[in-house]
């Protein structure tokens, strides 16, 4: 009997210790954080404090913004009211890449283009400049008039094939100049930007520097990482005029920045909308999704491009021109290229 | 294939250098398992992501005099999701490799129980992909640790065909590598952390029954936990159930 009892006693003790250790939830800290209004506000503010990359570029005192909004948050407030406070706090950043998504409402900062003239009317362009001779290849719409090419790139969001791009440039190679219209292009994928820029390069070119956060401090970054693009086999080397407006944002802003440093390129129109950073996502404990700027992008001469790219020639569309179906930016570009 | 080759090399080395003069007491273990993972990667969310990761563990062990030597390798891949956002999927793969050397503490054979203690070197690589999030949507942690291990086994029954085994470990010194704080790109350097900075421990309980002289079958339950108290804090708690298939040579 003694020989049988002892093993079972040992096994029982082992099991007891085992289950005691594995059930110690407080030590393990894998339970979800709180989702009260105050906890949600604190989580949002703290995460941004540690991860948002543009406080110093935008010269924002984030702690002061905390003091301003924290006093308005109580656990008695509704979820909708809390969302409004959080949205107001995030709006202080004036950053189109900052978005807060809840099941009932989405906040995105839009004043980077809403406060300015649109400077773009596609129906007018379609009717009066593209006409029936225009062609479509992937996201590109293009035409050739009087030996000058017009290429409209509506978005960098949708992928395009090399064949799409080659088809466009095989035809545009014969032109003496090119109007490249990226107005109201709200961005997309860096790869789509790069492949289009490569069509204009005749040598390996430094296009930007990227600064990635190395720690939670507002100015804790790794050394700037230089990005180069290689040329394609047959570059387009004739003069190019790039048309921009305030809705040219994010990847489109990058495109304008890269093209700005090419000697054959002139930027014409309004300042671009900015968004010179790589956005990233975070899921809050209450299920809301936060999008934030996680890097700083510098131009080839190390200037932050988050505020947008200044055109070489400022030009707006007046309401009268728009009513008459005229696009002064395209008209001006034709004049400059002739 | 590379992993299998690595595993076979370790087993071959184990057999070449650790062969006892009087013949081997080598065992091969095959453990198909289903692991329930609860992960928090605070770069993406403080909400735990949970899900199942099926996989396979292969191990080889050898007893020589008072030493118990063991190597093992495990790989699994599965999908996790947040409780608040079921539609957001996280693909996670988990690779672990261990090598342990344990010293037999009890000398009395007639009790049917063995108590070992020793050291384990292990390597954990966890890769995560948050495919529905944009840009820097991948993360990983690589942890190499030296751990203290305790192993207790008892055999019961008239011919002792049933064995219970419990093995626990706690990491005392670790090296780890994660992506840079604000991106998915791997950090240039490894960090070193002792208990406190890298909390890592686990416990494995198994019961096996001898089916034939050379084959044992059984069930196992493993619980593991690790937490990197780095600026990119990551926590993972894993429970796995396995089928134990043990071949004796």
**Does one domain contain both A101 and A155?**
no
CATH code for the domain of A133:
3.90.226.10
**Does one domain contain both A223 and A303?**
yes
pLDDT at residue B19, rounded to an integer:
41
pLDDT at residue A313, rounded to an integer:
96
Count of the separate structural domains present in chain A: 2
pLDDT at residue A276, rounded to an integer:
87
DSSP string, A139-191: TEEEEEETTEEEEEE--BSS---HHHHHHHHHHHTT-SEEEEE-TT---B-HH
Note whether residue A25 is domain-resident. Answer: no
Task: Tell me the sheet residues that pair with B50.
Answer: B38, B81
φ and ψ of B99, to 5 deg: -140, 125
Note whether residue A100 is domain-resident. Answer: yes
Note whether residue A212 is domain-resident. Answer: yes
Give the minimum alpha-carbon distance from B80 to chain A in angstroms, rounded to a whole number.
14
pLDDT tier at A207, thresholds 50, 70, 90? very high
Final residue belonging to a domain, choices A114, A144, A171: A114
**Does one domain contain both A98 and A60?**
yes
**Does one domain contain both A177 and A99?**
no
Note whether residue A50 is domain-resident. Answer: yes
pLDDT at residue B196, rounded to an integer:
84
Task: Please answer yes or no on whether B235 and A28 come within 8 Å at the CB atom.
Answer: yes
Q: Which pair of tokens denotes residue B167?
A: 């093995």
Among A9, A22, A44, A187, most B C-beta atoms within 10 A, so best to mutate, is A22
Cβ burial, residue A267 (10 Å; 0-12/13-18/19+):
buried
Final residue belonging to a domain, choices A81, A114, A147: A114
Q: Say whether pLDDT at A4 is over 50.
A: no
Residue A176 near residue A264, CB atoms below 8 Å: no
Task: Please answer yes or no on whether A285 and B45 come within 8 Å at the CB atom.
Answer: yes
pLDDT at residue A14, rounded to an integer:
54
Note whether residue A245 is domain-resident. Answer: yes
Residue A185 near residue A248, CB atoms below 8 Å: yes
3-state secondary structure of A201: coil
pLDDT at residue B65, rounded to an integer:
82
Residues of chain B with pLDDT under 50: 1, 3-4, 7-23
pLDDT at residue A15, rounded to an integer:
54
Q: CB-CB: which of A14, A32, A213 is closest to B152?
A: A14
Cα torsion angle, A303, A177, A149, A137, sign: negative
What size, in residues, is chain A? 338
Residues in contact with A290: Cβ distance below 8 Å, sequence separation at least 6, in sequence order: A44, A47, A48, A98, A99, A100, A101, A281, A282, A283, A284
Q: Please give the model's pTM, rounded to 2 decimal places.
A: 0.86
pLDDT at residue A1, rounded to an integer:
38
pLDDT at residue A54, rounded to an integer:
96
**Does one domain contain both A156 and A51?**
no
Closest CA in chain A for residue B132:
A281
**Does one domain contain both A224 and A109?**
no
Q: Could you list the residue range(s) of the whole structural domain that residue A41 is in?
A: 37-114
Final residue belonging to a domain, choices A64, A90, A114: A114
Closest CA in chain A for residue B50:
A30
**Does one domain contain both A309 and A231?**
yes
Closest CA in chain A for residue B83:
A287
Q: Say whether pLDDT at A26 is over 50.
A: no
pLDDT tier at A234, thresholds 50, 70, 90? confident
Note whether residue A144 is domain-resident. Answer: yes
pLDDT digits (tens, 9 = 90+) for A292-338: 999 999 999 999 999 999 999 999 999 999 999 999 999 999 999 98
**Does one domain contain both A96 and A137?**
no
**Does one domain contain both A148 and A266?**
yes
- Rounded CA separation B187/B193 (Å): 16
**Does one domain contain both A330 and A198?**
yes
Note whether residue A281 is domain-resident. Answer: no
Among B152, B181, B195, B208, most A C-beta atoms within 10 A, so best to mutate, is B181
**Helix axis angle, A190-198 to A162-172, nearest 10°:** 30
pLDDT at residue B107, rounded to an integer:
65
Cβ burial, residue B237 (10 Å; 0-12/13-18/19+):
buried
3-state secondary structure of A334: helix
φ and ψ of B24, to 5 deg: -95, 160
**Does one domain contain both A148 and A90?**
no
Note whether residue A10 is domain-resident. Answer: no
**Does one domain contain both A315 and A269?**
yes
Q: What does pLDDT average to over chain A?
A: 90
Residue A138 near residue A192, CB atoms below 8 Å: no
Query: Which of B185, B198, B246 is closest to B220 using CA atoms?
Result: B246
3-state secondary structure of A333: helix
């Amino acid at each position: 009997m003694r020989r049988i009892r002892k093993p079972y006693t040992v096994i029982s003790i082992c099991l007891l210790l085992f289950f005691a250790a594995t059930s110690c939830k407080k030590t393990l800290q894998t339970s979800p954080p709180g989702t009260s209004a105050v906890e949600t506000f604190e989580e949002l503010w703290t995460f941004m404090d540690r991860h948002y990359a543009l406080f110093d570029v935008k010269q924002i005192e984030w702690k002061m913004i905390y003091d301003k909004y924290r006093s308005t948050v109580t656990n008695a407030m509704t979820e909708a009211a809390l969302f409004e406070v959080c949205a107001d706090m995030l709006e202080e950043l004036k950053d189109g890449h900052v978005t807060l998504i809840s099941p009932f409402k989405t906040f995105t900062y839009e004043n980077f283009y809403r406060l300015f003239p649109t400077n773009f009317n596609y129906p007018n362009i379609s009717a009066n400049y593209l006409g029936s001779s225009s062609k479509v290849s992937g996201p590109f719409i293009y035409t050739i008039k009087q030996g000058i090419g017009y290429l409209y790139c509506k978005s960098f969001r949708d992928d395009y094939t090399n064949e799409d791009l080659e088809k466009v440039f095989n035809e545009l190679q014969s032109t003496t100049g090119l109007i490249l219209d990226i107005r109201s292009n709200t961005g997309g994928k860096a790869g789509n930007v790069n492949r289009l820029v490569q069509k204009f390069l005749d040598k390996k070119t430094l296009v930007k520097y990227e600064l990635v956060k190395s720690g939670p401090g507002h100015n804790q970054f790794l050394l700037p990482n230089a990005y180069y693009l290689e040329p394609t086999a047959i570059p387009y080397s004739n003069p190019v005029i790039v048309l921009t407006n305030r809705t040219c944002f994010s990847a489109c802003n990058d495109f304008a920045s890269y093209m700005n440093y090419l000697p054959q390129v002139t930027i014409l129109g309004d300042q671009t909308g900015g968004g010179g950073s790589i956005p990233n996502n975070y899921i809050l404990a209450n299920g809301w999704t936060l999008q934030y700027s996680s890097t700083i992008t510098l131009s080839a001469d190390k200037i932050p491009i988050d505020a947008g790219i200044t055109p070489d020639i400022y030009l707006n569309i007046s309401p009268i021109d728009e009513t008459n179906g005229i696009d002064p930016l395209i008209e001006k570009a034709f004049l400059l290229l002739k | 294939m590379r992993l299998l080759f690595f595993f076979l090399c370790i087993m071959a080395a184990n057999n070449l250098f650790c062969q006892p003069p009087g013949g081997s007491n080598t065992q091969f273990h095959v453990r198909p398992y289903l692991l329930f993972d609860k992960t928090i990667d605070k770069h993406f969310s403080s909400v735990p992501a949970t899900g199942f990761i099926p996989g396979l563990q292969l191990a080889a062990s050898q007893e020589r005099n008072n030493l118990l030597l063991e190597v093992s390798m495990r790989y699994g891949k599965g999908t996790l999701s947040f409780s608040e956002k079921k539609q957001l999927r996280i693909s996670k793969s988990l690779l672990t490799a261990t090598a342990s050397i344990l010293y037999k503490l009890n000398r009395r054979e007639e009790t049917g129980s063995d108590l070992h203690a020793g050291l384990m070197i292990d390597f954990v690589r966890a890769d995560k992909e948050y495919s529905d999030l944009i840009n820097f949507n991948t993360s990983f942690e690589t942890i190499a640790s030296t751990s203290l291990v305790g192993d207790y086994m008892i055999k019961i029954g008239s011919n002792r065909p049933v064995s219970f085994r419990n093995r626990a470990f706690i990491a005392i010194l670790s090296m780890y590598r994660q992506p840079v704080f604000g991106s998915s790109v791997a950090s240039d350097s490894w960090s070193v952390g002792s208990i406190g900075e890298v909390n890592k421990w686990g416990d494995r309980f198994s019961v096996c029954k001898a089916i034939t002289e050379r084959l044992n079958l059984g069930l196992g339950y493993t619980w593991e936990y690790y937490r990197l108290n780095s600026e990119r804090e990551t926590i993972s708690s894993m429970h796995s159930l396995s089928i134990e298939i043990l071949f004796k040579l």
